[in-house]
Amino acid sequence: MDWLANHTDLRIHPDRLIDDARSILLVADVYASRADNIGSPLEQGQGRIARYARGKDYHKIMKKRLMALADDLRAEHPEAQFKVFVDTAPVLERELAQRAGLGWIGKHTLLIHPKIGSYFFLGGIVTTLDLEPPADQRPEPDHCGTCTRCIDACPTDAITPYSVDARKCISYLTIEHRSDIDPELVKHIGDWIYGCDICQEVCPHNSRRDDAQTINDAYTPTRDRFDLLEVLNWSEDDRREAFKGSAMKRAKLDMMKRNAKIVAQNQGLTLDQ
């Protein structure tokens, strides 16, 4: 989060990523189906992983596809410059995607597409090409209405309309927060060992989404849970091997063990290491 704060100017003015930038192409890549939204029950001694991190690393998958698109455009416009970004540049992707008509920002602050819900990644290309937007491109209106399901379902009360308090967000606490977690929040983390999907699980736009969209095989889950005792016995090499090829890079070894202890505590378990 400090990195983003230190790049505020670029986040507000992504055209400064390359000189003379004129256009930004935004792409949404679906990573979970309506069936995936239901989830599967956990057994005692297991911790749940957020859906975005269950398949291969989306940074690499999307970057490869966007680079291919940029190469195609470069072949037609060799004089133009292109810069690909997938969480690799301090850019306000959601706000830009909203302006591009890819959805609206929901009360849980995630972008929601009217047909595919919110389970998708965002990436883009900044270019010096002066591209004309489609005639029908316009920001998607807010369809949340009076619904407050995400707000009501959040175990830590992290969500208020169109705002999330990172200090209470389970995703932030389990992935980014490096020190001990407030005991008042610990009991609300439940079974989540890495990330959280609760606000998306309860969103009606994910339960009635159009599943006609093809999901990249790379996002097929390789694992949706961790064995708690296994995590508690990890070495650093074990952590790296478990995270290999996935987007699960940010949680350090001590954080994962902390998370495993929390989930075990919430399940009423005493695990011997």
Catalytic residues: 87
Q: Tokens standing for 27?
A: 């792409």
Q: Within its chain, how far is the Cα of 50 from the centroid?
A: 9
Q: Tokens standing for 135?
A: 């005639």
Q: Tokens standing for 12?
A: 């507000």
Q: Half-sphere exposure (CA, 13 Å, Cβ side) for 33?
A: 12
CA angle 53, 221, 175 (to 5 degrees): 15
The backbone region for 179, taken as left when phi is positive above 0, alpha when psi lies in -120 to 50, beta otherwise, is beta
CB neighbours of residue 51 within 10 Å = 21
CB neighbours of residue 72 within 10 Å = 10
Instruction: Say how far apart CA 33 and CA 259 lie, in whole Å.
Output: 27
Number of residues written out for the chain: 273
